[in-house]
Amino acid sequence: MIFKLVGDGRPYPDHGLTPREWAQIPPRQVRLDSLITTKAMLDLHSLLAADSTFYGDLFPHVVQWQGELYLEDGLHRALRAALHQRSILHARVLELPA
């Protein structure tokens, strides 16, 4: 099992963070098997593209809400980590109040 659960959508309230605000959150280690995805489908072109990690934030975005970790952005990075048999991912984690 790669992820704790494959979800489809964001069950938590809108946080309204901009990319600049996300960049202010220091990355930390997160176990892949503790993440719940917010996307049920992935575009393989994005996953397999040589420059797929070149644009945007270097670290995936995770929202912690009601004791769960939701992978909001960076699904392709998480899957690449899993394909390289890594169980840990460095991600920016936003903690939302319950």
Dihedrals phi, psi of 37, to nearest 5 degrees: -75, 155
Where does 1-98 show beta strands of DSSP type E? 5-6, 27-31, 35-37, 61-65, 68-73, 88-95
pTM here is 0.88
The CATH class given to the 5-9+22-95 domain equals alpha beta
- pLDDT (tens, 9 = 90+) of the chain, 98 residues, equals 799 999 989 999 999 999 899 999 999 999 999 999 998 887 777 666 665 555 567 899 999 999 999 999 998 889 889 999 999 999 999 999 97
Q: What are the boundaries of each domain within the chain?
A: 5-9+22-95
Nearest-angstrom CA–CA distance, 17 and 93 = 12
